[in-house]
Structure formats: C-alpha cells, structure tokens
Amino acid sequence: MDQTLFNDKRTVLTLDAGGTNFVFSAQRAGKEIVEPVRKPSYGEDLERCIASMKEGFREIQQNLKDQAVAISFAFPGPADYPHGIIGDLANLPGFQGGVPLGPILEEAFQLPVFINNDGDLFTYGEALGGFLPEINRMLEEKANPRRYQNLVGLTLGTGFGAGIYTNGQLMIGDNSVVAEVWLLSTRHSPDRSAEEAVSIRSVIRNYAKYTGDANMQDLTPKDIFDIADGRQAGSREAALNAYKEMGKHLGDAMANLITLTDGVIVLGGGITGAARYFMPSAMKTLNGHFEFPEENPEIRLIQKAYYLDDEKDQKAFIEKSGREISIPGTGRSVYYDDQPKTAVGISRLGASRAISLGAYALAVNRLNG
C-alpha cells in the first residue's frame, strides 16, 4: 500500500458522475472527509449540467476546513482526458462536439482539474490501496518472494470497462482510449463485442434464450440473480446457464488481457455480487485449452490462474512453490519458481470507493509532478 498517498494531507474535490445524478465529495489522505452532496446531472442540457456541477463543488468547498488543492473525478468517454475535453456522450447527450470541461472548471475554481474514466481510476485505486497491495502482503506473510506489479481492473455492470496499471504507472495511451475492453472479441462469439457478452444485458438476454421466452428480457438483473438463488419463481436452470455463459466469455476476455499484460485481475461493479455463479465458468476457461489441434490442444494461458475468493485457490497461490538452485562453484543459490501464476479476485474496496481513491491518487501524483 502506498503509505505516502495515505499520509498526504492535501484535500481534493471529487465527483461520482452518473447519467442521472452527480455525487460530490472530498478526500484527504485517501479517505472521504465530508458528507457527499447529490445534484441532478441535467445530462441533456449542457448549460444546466455544468451549472449543477459548479454548484455541487461549491457546496463541498463550503463544508471544508482547509482549501482544496485540486478537482479530480471520473467522467464518461470518449474524451481527451489529459486536456479535460469531453466528446459525444450517450448518457449525457448535452455533451456533443467537444466540451472543454476541465478548463471550464479550472477557470471557475482556479484549481487544477484532473479527469479520467471510471475503469482507469478503479484500477488505479485497486493498485495503490486495494487488490495489488493485498496480494503482495499475503505473499510476504507466507515468506513467498514473488511480488506482483501489474494489474488489470475490470468493471462489470451496464457496460464492460477496464484499466491497466503496470510497474507503478496507470496506462493512458496515445488517444486516451487504452484498455477499451468492451470492444474486445472473444472466441466464443467473434461476431459481437465483449460487452455484449459480458454485461447486465447479456445475462438478461441469455436467460431469455435458455427459457425460450423473449418476454423474459423484461426481467431485471436482480430478478435473474434471485431466480438463480432460488428466492424468486422462474427457471433456476436457465438463470444458472445465463451466468455460466457470461462467465465463459469473461474468462476468454481475461485470458486475452493476461496474455498481453502478464498481470493479475481485479473485478468490480454490480454483477460481481453474482460471482459465485459465473466465476467457475470463467476460471475453467482461463485454465482450459484451445480445441485445436484435437490430438494435442494448446493451453489457453501460460500462467496458471487462481481465484482468490476460493479458499483452496488462495492457499495454493500464496504458498511458496519454488526452490533454491545451487550456483556451481560458489556455495550460493538462487530462488527459482518454474510455474508462472496469475490471480483473479473480487474488489474488497468496492468499485465506487476504488474509483474515488484512484481519482485522489491521480490528483496527488500529478501535483507532485
């Protein structure tokens, strides 16, 4: 865990930007320090939307004992995040043609403004104060010399988002569109985007398919979860199969990401509440094989993948598995572990908390230069 970040006494204004509401807050030392303020987003009216944003930040300022040093928050894309310019948005249709939101707020508050997307900031928060330091702490406690420096964060909900953190840096990309995983293709459904196979609507669509009743698409994700849990009338078998199919696609998308980053993966977002129904399928895909060639199918991943929310998998992952190899003629030895390992787990912080922490860290690190 980045103790420097959690001992920083500077205050940063933050925002959780939804399509319907904006929730404003402030953080110091990686913790929320005021009661959040909620304002309507007025997403179809740009002028009212920005006025609501200014009003929310001003209310938070009035509740602070110390002056804020920056504003930092997640906002939907497409966007030129380094320059604070927001492109054409579906959920906030008032934003069209390029809106210099960062410069507008900088002018209004005379503070630096930092904006990024929720997938990136979720990953950043988990890398600095969540999943990544937790893994390394567990390894240290077991005297396991392995340490992990690379993390992919995935958000599962209405959409499918991601961020990539590698060796102390959050990847941004040349066009502010790094880790747009929703546009990945999985081998199970190469004719559709990964988001269409790994999202709330995919679970609903899968359930309707397995029941053979198109009207089932009127159900909510909560309905299908309750059916899978046996707490609501419906086809439990169809609900379980719906999650299983989603897990298969998620596993293939994660395999692509692990192949490229050689990192570990943390999952956040609303669908993770149903992880027990889709993660077995996802892990089976990660540790599975390609179907070709039939006589000797190739492994899907070089790394063996472990699910850290499973007690057996967690134990196997953190235990020291390598050995000391002698260096001829020296009397010394070196540690060698010939089994590459990766891990997948559910966020302990929760997506909202991780995003806020990521936003705070982004501001502090940018201010530090």
DSSP sequence for 81-104: GGGTEE---SSSTT--S-B-HHHH
The string of pLDDT tens digits covering residues 306-339 is 999 999 999 999 999 888 999 999 999 999 999 9
The string of pLDDT tens digits covering residues 202-220 is 999 999 999 998 888 788 8
Q: Which residues are bridge partners to 267 per DSSP?
A: 154, 346
Domain definitions of the chain by residue range: 3-116, 131-348
Q: What is the pTM of this model?
A: 0.93
- Provide the pLDDT for residue 357: 94
Between 75 and 16, the more confident residue is 75
The string of pLDDT tens digits covering residues 33-43 is 999 999 999 99
The mean per-residue pLDDT over the stretch 274-297 comes to 94
Give the residue from 349, 275, 317 showing the smallest Cα distance to 124.
349
On whether the 131-348 domain is CATH 3.40.50.300, my answer is no
Binning pLDDT at 50, 70 and 90, where does residue 2 land? low
Predicted confidence (pLDDT) at residue 289 exceeds the cutoff of 90:
yes
Q: Do domains 3-116 and 131-348 have the same CATH topology?
A: yes
CATH topology of domain 3-116: Nucleotidyltransferase; domain 5 (3.30.420)
Q: To 10 degrees, the CA torsion angle through 105, 60, 358, 353?
A: -140
Element (H, E) at 359: helix 351-367
- The pairing of strands 21-28 and 37-40 is antiparallel
The string of pLDDT tens digits covering residues 132-182 is 999 999 999 999 999 999 999 999 998 899 999 999 999 988 888 889 999
The mean per-residue pLDDT over the stretch 341-369 comes to 93
Give the residue from 367, 359, 368, 347 showing the smallest Cα distance to 27.
359
| Beta carbons within 8 Å of 213's beta carbon, 6+ residues apart | none
DSSP state of 108: H
- Cα 2 to Cα 12: distance, rounded to the nearest angstrom: 17
- Provide the pLDDT for residue 3: 67
- Provide the pLDDT for residue 68: 96
- Provide the pLDDT for residue 16: 85
DSSP sequence for 158-213: SSEEEEEEETTEE---SSS-TT-GGG---TT-TTS-HHHHSSHHHHHHHHHHHHT-
Binning pLDDT at 50, 70 and 90, where does residue 245 land? very high
